[in-house]
Chain A
């Protein structure tokens, strides 16, 4: 039973355009959502997060949107750069004393020059 789903295994975007990565979840107890970026042979790098009390969080070129009623979040990267090419993981936890992160399977983003 996959509680965090990233239905697109891959996404290809032109440099300078917007990249939109999507994530759906089923557990209504999730309270905190995170995006990680992973290059080959490296560990995941924290990118941006959002609490369930917000619907948007922005950090430079990265914006995460949360739609709680739809149990959906998305990561927008504007403008996309070739260095953004990596696997992006969506993760969630229930907050409080529950530290467990539940991850999606990831989406491979390729930004073409």
Chain B
């Protein structure tokens, strides 16, 4: 499986500000995803980061709030914009490689713990 790193690992931010989270993979991957885990909740998919085109967002998530970039096959960023305390969560990057089973198995980064005051 790929080695995935995320920066920052944690941050404390003031409401109204924005934070950009980076995800770096040690090998080229087909698919990259961004998830959120709110306190006491399950992981929820925010969007699929598409290389060279706009991300595909899940219901309830919009580009203005969570802009995503994916300039190449090993890197993606997620920005949490105009933050409020409700955005306090763990944000996780995941990847999948091409091929039937591998595409369905996603591997996760260590996560970014965000606290908004």
Contact = CB atoms under 8 A, between A and B. Distances in A.
Contacts of A44: 43, 92, 108
Interface of A: 2, 4, 32, 34, 36, 41-46, 49, 51, 89, 91, 93, 95, 99-101, 103-106
Interface residues of B, number: 26
B104 A32 contact: yes
Contacts of B26: none
Main secondary structure of the interface of A (DSSP, over half): strand
B108 A100 contact: no
B105 A43 contact: no
A41 B45 CA distance: 19
Given A43-B92, A89-B42, A99 B31 contact: yes
**CB-CB nearest 3 A-B residue pairs:** A43-B108, A103-B42, A103-B43
B67 interface: no
Contacts of A42: 110-111
B100 to A, nearest CB: 8
Contacts of A4: 42
8 contacts: A2-B42, A34-B104, A42-B111, A43-B109, A46-B107, A101-B45, A101-B94, A104-B42
